[in-house]
Amino acid sequence: MNLVKIIAGPDGKSLFQDTPITLTDKGKFGRFSDLQGVPGFMFREADADYASGWHVVPNPVYLIFLGGQVEITVGTGEKRVFGAGSVIYADDMTGEGHSTRSVSSDPVQSILINLPVKV
């Protein structure tokens, strides 16, 4: 299993980073990652014409897409499309950030899992 991260590069441009998730076999229950502690999460729905513009995240956040499709563009110019079942870890709290826009006629539905800022 892999996780797509959005991170700020040393030049201030955000970029995608594909990272494997380490899983431990738990027998008949399947394979599990380590437990992740989180301070809270939110459900979000945005209209089909959603476009965020360029922004950074205020804290690290997991985005789990439930419906619709979005195109995320990072500072390097790379674009990727994500839909239901996609999981993103956004950690680009500095630099130019990234932009997100809907690319389907369906509302964008997601869960945002906020993580603490590491100091």
Q: What is the DSSP string of the chain?
A: -EEEEEEE-TTS-EEEEEEEPP-EE-GGG-EE------SEEEEEEE-TT-B--SB--SS-EEEEEEESEEEEEETTS-EEEEETT-EEEE---STT-EEEEE-SSSPEEEEEEE-PPP-
Q: Taking residues 85-92, report their average pLDDT.
A: 96
Residue 44 has a pLDDT of 97
pLDDT bucket at 64, cuts 50 / 70 / 90: very high
Q: Does residue 22 belong to any structural domain of this protein? A: yes
Q: Does residue 57 belong to any structural domain of this protein? A: yes
CATH of the domain at 105: 2.60.120.10
The answer on pLDDT for 119 being more than 90 is no
pLDDT digits (tens, 9 = 90+) for 30-59: 999 999 889 899 999 999 999 999 999 999
Q: Does residue 90 belong to any structural domain of this protein? A: yes
Q: Does residue 119 belong to any structural domain of this protein? A: no
The answer on pLDDT for 23 being more than 90 is yes
Burial class (CB in 10 A: 0-12, 13-18, 19+), 93: middle
Residue 1 has a pLDDT of 87
Distance CA 2, CA 55 (A): 24
Domain holding 87, by residue range, is 2-114
Q: How many domains does the chain have?
A: 1
Q: Does residue 23 belong to any structural domain of this protein? A: yes
Distance CA 97, CA 12 (A): 8
Q: Does residue 49 belong to any structural domain of this protein? A: yes
Q: Does residue 82 belong to any structural domain of this protein? A: yes
- Tell if the pTM clears 0.95, that is, is over it: no
Q: Does residue 80 belong to any structural domain of this protein? A: yes
